[in-house]
Structure 1
Amino acid sequence: MSAATGRRRWSFWIGLAVAAVLLFAVAPAVLSDFRLGLLAKFLCYGMVAVGIGLAWGRGGMLTLGQGVFFGLGAYMMAMHLKLADAELRGDAVPDFMQFAGVRVLPALWAPFASPVVTVLAILVVPGLLALVLGLGVFRRRVKGAYFAILSQALAAAFAILLIGQQTLGGSNGLNRFRSFFALSLNDPANRLLLFFLTAAALLLTVLATRQLMVSRYGELLVAVRDQEERVRFLGYDPATIKVVAYVSAAFFAGIGGALFVPVVGIISPNDVGVVPSIAFLAGVAIGGRTTLLGPVLGAVGVAWTQSLLSEQFPAGWTYLQGALFILVIGFLPAGLAGIGPLLRRWRRRRVPPPAVVEKEAELVA
């Protein structure tokens, strides 16, 4: 193992340890309940960003439709929570269905009365859909802008479909959740527990992604991004390699969406359409799409900055976000995570090598 590889390895573990201390010790001690809830929301975005960093940063797949998988996990969790609340009240259907005059539970809702089925569905359905889509797209060698447009169209179609489904709340979505697996969401202690659960899920997601990146599969994924035809010539199937990254990204997004529901208390088509999908991508690009922690820091940092600045300048944040995105793409292609290596390269160019210094000393003498 080279010295550079060793430094990167230790820097990752040190960064992960610092993140764990900040999330599990510092944040609960210094943030109010409201700010802690906001941070938990942004950590859910971070899980989506990790998957985008793997698929786009390492695999070269510009995924503009992660809102679909985020929404699948969110809506399945929301359906279970609404059914659990209805059971606590002794009702046969959720409250919004009663207001609409629905007295019989739709067949689509019935499986999600079980918490076990709900958890399994959240873990399986987004990845299964990504598997089907990935095999259909990548085996036909659809890539680049065509894949980006296709994924974005999928997100738009998914949001339109949800708006037309009144049994899923229509454009209002699903909201007013009172419990989370028998835990009252009005209890501050349970809200803190939910924050810890979200933070732990994010750290596990980062660890799983790192394992993929440092493995032989990670090397193949980068090779497919840079020289797909050469990888095919060597006997590997680039479609299979891409599908694994795409399914992993969908899996992470589904988990992030599922935790988003009890954290925020609402899920609607506005949270899963084209605009949220592009916002996920912007955070990853600003943080640094080719790094491991850059997408997380970018997604969380951009969302946190948006929350703070929009409180003071509601109409100005969009322009600032656009300017930041242009600045990063134009002058920092590696994102904010690339500032450190850029400064080190600049410093090395400023300091002359020892041979040059010795030669100048001889000339002076």
Structure 2
Amino acid sequence: MIRRHLPFAAVAVVALVAAPLLLEPFRLGLLAKYLCYAIVALGIGLAWGKGGMLTLGQGVFFGLGGYSMAMYLKLTEAEGGLPDFMVWSGVEELPALWVPFANPVFAMSMAVLGPVILAVVLGTLVFRQRVRGAYFAILTQALAAAMVILLVGQQGLTGGTNGMTNFFELFGQDLAEDSTQRGLYLVVAGVLGVLYLGTRQLVNSRYGRLLVAVRDGEDRVRFLGYDPALVKTVTFAASAGMAGLAGALFVPVVGIISPALLGVVPSLELVVAVAVGGRHVLAGAVLGAVVMGYAKTAFSEQFADGWLYLQGALFILVMTLASKGIAGVAQTVAGRLRSARAT
């Protein structure tokens, strides 16, 4: 049992101790951003890899969490007045929707509860009608597109196309300070570690085995007396909560939230990242998000005109040579090493 947790412990030590010491503040901020995406990927790995629910709209839940945190930060900086973008848009009075978000506890709670509630409502309506497979994927993708349209059309309420930016302070700490960004990185890395261990424990529990059974034979599970709709709804809500929490952490780390970050394309990129890492292994989903995030940055820096082609080539290469992703390759190599050692 101890040996199984050694790789995780080693990675955790490197992430928490070595990265802040070895990386300059800008690169450390990029790594924190990748880890925010990794939290979303962990939820996708749970819903898709273990539950068979291909969700193409995680950007919606990510955006709900991000906008909840952004609203709190904007109200803190306004000090009782109106946020800057509302002034530019001609808004004269703070909208009633914004008022509760001046409370940090409410804002952070809604960053998680908002996505969870939406996922429970959507899951209850969809899974009770036995919608699954490609139909469920298309439905979540349409939800992401509708969310973008809604946000863009509410200029005075959400900042429209530009979204919200210019965040300067979080709980009295200057977000421009290197020490603050280093602290945010440690928080993000710690949250990811806790969520990974919790999700892994969930997958290895009786509920996790039931979830896999629903994925592989939903009708058989129903005949055994279980409610597959309830099982899938709980998992879908858990993945949505992770995405919302990731969005709330993303805002102070990166300093912006906009519709461009939560539409159809970003949601698809996260699914691609999970596929590259290995959707059937939770660690693979996390690794895929970090690898694809780093590849996107590296390719865009070196090949400004053609980095999208290189990113697509990376996805095709991994899927062609290793259909189970990077984690699948690692499992194969580890299995062969164990066989050779036994021989």
User: So what's the TM-score if we normalise by structure 1?
Assistant: 0.90
| Residues 258-316 of structure 1: CA deviation (Å, up to 9, x unaligned) | 00000000000000000000011011000011012110111011101210121011222
* Structure 2 equivalent of residue 84 of structure 1: 76
The alignment covers a number of residue pairs equal to: 342
Matched, 1:165 2:154: yes
* Structure 2 equivalent of residue 194 of structure 1: 184
Report if aligned partners of 2:299, 2:310 keep a CA contact under 8 Å in 1.
no
Deviation at 1:191, TM superposition (A): 1.4
Query: Structure 1 residues 124-133 or 20-29, which shifts more?
Result: 20-29
What is the RMSD of the two structures over their aligned residues, measured on CA atoms? 1.7
* Structure 1 equivalent of residue 208 of structure 2: 218
**What's the secondary structure of 1:61's corresponding residue?**
coil
* Structure 2 equivalent of residue 363 of structure 1: none
Measured at CA, do residues 93 and 329 of structure 1 come closer, stay the same or move farther in structure 2, by a change above 3 Å?
Answer: same
Residue identity opposite 2:46 in structure 1: L
| Residues 134-186 of structure 1: CA deviation (Å, up to 9, x unaligned) | 01111100000000000000001101110001121000000000111222212
* Structure 2 equivalent of residue 271 of structure 1: 261
Alignment of 1:159-308 (within 5 A): 159-166=148-155, 167-308=157-298
* Structure 2 equivalent of residue 24 of structure 1: 16
Matched, 1:148 2:137: yes
**What's the secondary structure of 1:293's corresponding residue?**
helix
Measured at CA, do residues 121 and 347 of structure 1 come closer, stay the same or move farther in structure 2, by a change above 3 Å?
Answer: closer
* Structure 1 equivalent of residue 101 of structure 2: 112
Report if aligned partners of 2:295, 2:311 keep a CA contact under 8 Å in 1.
no
Deviation at 1:327, TM superposition (A): 2.8
Deviation at 1:333, TM superposition (A): 2.0
* Structure 2 equivalent of residue 100 of structure 1: 89
User: So what's the TM-score if we normalise by structure 2?
Assistant: 0.96
Query: Structure 1 residues 231-240 or 96-105, which shifts more?
Result: 96-105
Report if aligned partners of 1:288, 1:298 keep a CA contact under 8 Å in 2.
yes
**What's the secondary structure of 2:282's corresponding residue?**
coil
Listed as ranges, the gaps of 5+ residues in structure 1 are: 1-5, 355-365
Q: Percent same amino acid among aligned pairs?
A: 55
Report if aligned partners of 1:92, 1:103 keep a CA contact under 8 Å in 2.
no
Measured at CA, do residues 240 and 170 of structure 1 come closer, stay the same or move farther in structure 2, by a change above 3 Å?
Answer: same
Report if aligned partners of 1:42, 1:299 keep a CA contact under 8 Å in 2.
yes
Match of 1:63 among 35, 42, 55: 55
Deviation at 1:331, TM superposition (A): 3.2
* Structure 2 equivalent of residue 360 of structure 1: none
| Residues 70-104 of structure 1: CA deviation (Å, up to 9, x unaligned) | 000000100000000001xxx51111212222221
Listed as ranges, the gaps of 5+ residues in structure 2 are: none
| Residues 36-76 of structure 1: CA deviation (Å, up to 9, x unaligned) | 00011111000000000000000000010000000000001
